[in-house]
Amino acid sequence: MSGTPGKKGDRIGPYRLGRRYRGTDPGEGSIHEAHHVETGAPALVILPGTNEDGRPRSAWSVRAEGSLHPPYQAVHVEQPPQGRASLHDLTLLLIRLAGATAHIENRKDAHGHFSRVPAHARIRRWVLHWGLSGAAAAMATGLVLFLWPHAREATRVRTTSEDPVFFADRQNLVFPIASYPMPEKPFKEQQKPPCLEETEVEVRGGCWIEHTKKAPCPRSTAEYQGKCYIPVKKQPPPPSSLQP
């Protein structure tokens, strides 16, 4: 690979990078349009930023597809990671991809990129069979929820403190990740009771702000019993005064 990684024209694995989509936090990584160097198929590549949480934990190779006739959605594992495979790592991969796709889904240039089918390429059905013109919630929930097809309370996916979770710190309410099921215990950086009365609610040992939207939940929120919540970030301790 020539030049600095992340530049237009660089090769990342089997992909050649195109333009970079702006508007993302550099610490969380960068989103690039790309194409497969052998087939020419359009692709989306996410490069990690300075935040270690954005780096892949294991090497999964999967194919996602959706069909209208017959109606179904599927994820097909083409190659699992070496050693012990973790479905949680696969969940994080799909959540991050869903968030990146939702970030660009309303861009005309992105729609044009993914709609471009090379005449000479052997395009497989996984190349945007579901399209990019749908709503962000349809994209995010469509990729994530198939991993827990049973009742949301019967099957819960583990979310650790290392996951890229958005917290409400009363300053910034935008973060490009998909919705996720309510974790069984508070995050490491989450505020614990006592919670602020009339503003926050206690759920599973942590403080949460209830979102006005109901399930399916929007991006950056946790779903619990049909409602959507935002975790409250732990407040820093007050500065201690120095005694003379």
CA distances from 225 to 91, 205, 215, 217, 244 (A): 21, 16, 9, 11, 53
Q: Which of 147, 173, 198 is the last residue of a domain?
A: 147
In a domain, 96, yes or no: yes
In a domain, 242, yes or no: no
Q: Which of 147, 177, 207 is the last residue of a domain?
A: 147
Based on the domain organization, do 83 and 199 belong to the same domain? no
Domain count, the chain: 2
Based on the domain organization, do 175 and 101 belong to the same domain? no
Based on the domain organization, do 180 and 138 belong to the same domain? no
Based on the domain organization, do 111 and 75 belong to the same domain? yes
In a domain, 152, yes or no: no
Based on the domain organization, do 103 and 24 belong to the same domain? yes
Domain span including residue 209? 160-236
Residue 219's H or E segment, with its range, is none
3-state class of 88 per DSSP? helix
Cα–Cα dist 86/70, whole Å: 30
In a domain, 208, yes or no: yes
Per-residue pLDDT of the chain (244 residues; tens, 9 = 90+): 433 457 888 998 889 998 888 877 766 688 899 988 888 888 989 888 777 666 787 888 888 888 888 888 898 888 888 877 778 888 888 888 888 888 888 888 888 888 876 544 443 343 344 344 344 444 444 444 444 343 333 333 334 444 455 566 544 444 445 678 888 888 888 899 999 888 899 999 999 999 888 888 887 788 898 899 989 888 777 665 555 5
Torsion of CA 55, 56, 62, 68, to 10 degrees: -40
Based on the domain organization, do 118 and 175 belong to the same domain? no
CA distances from 244 to 238, 241 (A): 19, 9
Based on the domain organization, do 125 and 92 belong to the same domain? yes
Q: Which of 147, 177, 196 is the last residue of a domain?
A: 147
Based on the domain organization, do 106 and 216 belong to the same domain? no
